[in-house]
Structure 1
Amino acid sequence: MDRKEKIIKELEKGLIVSCQAKKSDPHYCEDITLLMAKAAVWGGAAGLRLDTPQDIKKIKRECNLPVIGLWKVFSDKSEVFITPGMNYVRSCIEAGADIIAVDATNRLVEDNRLAYDIIPEIKREFPHTPILADIRNAEDALIAIEKGTDMIAPTLSRFDPTYKSSAKPNFELLCRLVDLCRGKVKVIMESHINTPEDAVIALYHGAHSVVVGNAITRPHITTQKFYDAIHGYKDKRSLFYWAEK
C-alpha cells in the first residue's frame, strides 16, 4: 500500500472534524483551533480539516491525525477562495498537510485559470499527496475525476447556480456522486451534517468518510438553529456563513 492509499484508508468510515474559526466568532481566542483539534482527537476523530499553514503546522505538532489542509484566500477579483494557487498549495504541504483540498469548479481564479486546472499541477509537483476536490455538483465531480483527483467532496454545493437553501444534508447529491465515483475516487461527505444520524446516513449511502464543522466547533451556530426552530424561523437569517476577508 503506497502513501496515498494509506492516508485515504485511515479516513475510511471515520469522522473528519473541520477545526476552523473566524475572529468574529464569539468564542474566538488564541489557540481556539488547537483546542478544537485536541477535543476532536479526544472524541475519536479520524482526521482534521484545517485552514492556513499556520494552523496546520501548529496542530500537526500536537495532534497525530491525517490533516486535510487548505488555505482560504478571499479576493474581490475571484469567487474561488479554497487554496486558489500553487503557492498556497506548497505552503500547506510544507506545513504538514497530508491531503490538500482545492476548489475544483469551473470558476476562474485571478489569473484567468479555471480552478480545477490546479489538480494536474499538484499531481506533477506532489505526486504522493492525495488531492481532495471541493466541488459544487456532479458536473464538477466528473471534471475533477478526469483531471486526476483522489477524492471529492460537495463542500461548495451551496454555490451551485441551482442550489436551494436548506439546513439539511443533500443526500440526493451524495448518492449521485457515489454512483459517478464508484471504482474511481472516494467521496467525502461535507455540508450540513448536523447530527450523528446524518453522518451514519451519509456512510450508509456510500460516503468514504464524513466532515463535520459547524455542528461541533461553532456553538453559536448550533444555538441559532435551536432558536430558529423554537421561534418559528421568524428572523429569516441566512443559512450561509461568510468568512472575513
Structure 2
Amino acid sequence: MTILNSLKGGLVVSCQPLTGGPMDQTDIIVAMARAAVDGGADGLRIEGVNNMRAVRAAVSVPLIGIVKRDLPDTPVRITPFVSDALELIEAGADIVAYDATDRPSRDTRSDIVRAIFEAGALAMGDCATLRDAKAAQDIGTAIIGTTLSGYTAETETEATDPDFALVTAFTKLGGFVMAEGRYNAPDLARRAIEAGANCVTVGSAITRIEHISQWFSDAVKRAAK
C-alpha cells in the first residue's frame, strides 16, 4: 500500500505543543504520537529533526515532517531551507511539508520540492490559496494542503471555521488534498471529507492542552457572568 493510500480517508494528528511550553519536550511528543496512533491516527505531523527521529523510532504510521523557523527577512516559517527537508527525511520523514505560498523565501519552492523528491520522499505544499495549490502541483508536489488559509496577509480572517470552500476548490485540481487549519471538532473533520478532502489534519484540539483548556475556561467564565 502506498503512503497516500494509507492516508486516504484518514486522520493525521499534528503533535506540535506550544513552543517553549511545558509540553514542548521530545519524550512528551513521542507519548502524544503513540497515544494518537492508539486512538486511530493514520499519520502524524511532527516538527523538528530531533522530534522526528524519536517519533520514527516509536511508531510505524506515515510521518509528515516540518521545521519551523522565525527568520528576519521573510514571513515563511515552514521548512524554508532545502537542508531542513533533507535532515527531516534522514530522520525518518515520509513526507515533508513546506510553505507553498508565493511569499519570498531563502530557498525556492522548486528547489525544496526537487530535493524532497530526489531524496525519496513526498512533498506536501502548505497552501493559502488556490493559486498556491496550482503552483505546487506544477512543480511536483504530491499533497496540497489548506494549512495556511487564514494565516497569511492575503487571507487573514477572523473566521473560526475551516476554509471548506478552499478544500472543494482544491479537489477540482485533482491530486491528494489535505484539509488542515482550524479543524477543532470531530464534526468539522467530517465535513472536510464531505467537502472532498482525502485526509484531515488536526492539531490544537488534540495536542495543545493550553488551547483546549482556554476554550473551556472562556466558555465557563462567560456563563458565570
Q: Give 1:28 deviation, angstroms.
A: 4.2
Q: How high is the TM-score relative to the length of structure 1? A: 0.84
2:213 to 203, 217, 223: 223
What SS does the aligned partner of 1:199 have? helix
| CA distance, structure 2, for counterparts of residue 61 and residue 18 of structure 1 | 17
What SS does the aligned partner of 2:144 have? strand
Tell me how many residue pairs correspond in the alignment. 222
What SS does the aligned partner of 1:75 have? coil
| CA distance, structure 1, for counterparts of residue 21 and residue 165 of structure 2 | 31
Q: Corresponding residue for 2:116?
A: 122
Q: Give 1:84 deviation, angstroms.
A: 0.8
1:44 to 29, 40, 46: 40
Q: What fraction of aligned residue pairs are identical, expressed as a percent?
A: 36
Q: Give 1:26 deviation, angstroms.
A: 4.3
Tell me, yes or no, if structure 1 residue 100 matches structure 2 residue 92: no
| CA distance, structure 1, for counterparts of residue 47 and residue 23 of structure 2 | 18
| CA distance, structure 1, for counterparts of residue 160 and residue 27 of structure 2 | 29
Tell me, yes or no, if structure 1 residue 193 matches structure 2 residue 193: no
List alignment gaps of at least 5 residues for structure 1: 234-245
Are the counterparts in 2 of residues 187 and 207 from structure 1 also a CA contact under 8 Å?
A: yes
| CA distance, structure 2, for counterparts of residue 50 and residue 93 of structure 1 | 12
Are the counterparts in 2 of residues 108 and 115 from structure 1 also a CA contact under 8 Å?
A: no
List alignment gaps of at least 5 residues for structure 2: none
Are the counterparts in 1 of residues 128 and 155 from structure 2 also a CA contact under 8 Å?
A: no
CA deviation profile, 1:181-211 (whole Å, cap 9, x unmatched): 22xx200000000111111111111111100
Tell me, yes or no, if structure 1 residue 81 matches structure 2 residue 71: no
- Mapping for residues 1-245 of structure 1, pairs under 5 Å: 6-29=2-25, 31-110=27-106, 113-115=107-109, 117-123=111-117, 125-126=118-119, 128-157=120-149, 158-179=151-172, 181-182=173-174, 185-231=175-221
Distance 1:135 1:20, change over 3 A: same
| CA distance, structure 2, for counterparts of residue 41 and residue 213 of structure 1 | 14
Are the counterparts in 2 of residues 80 and 115 from structure 1 also a CA contact under 8 Å?
A: no
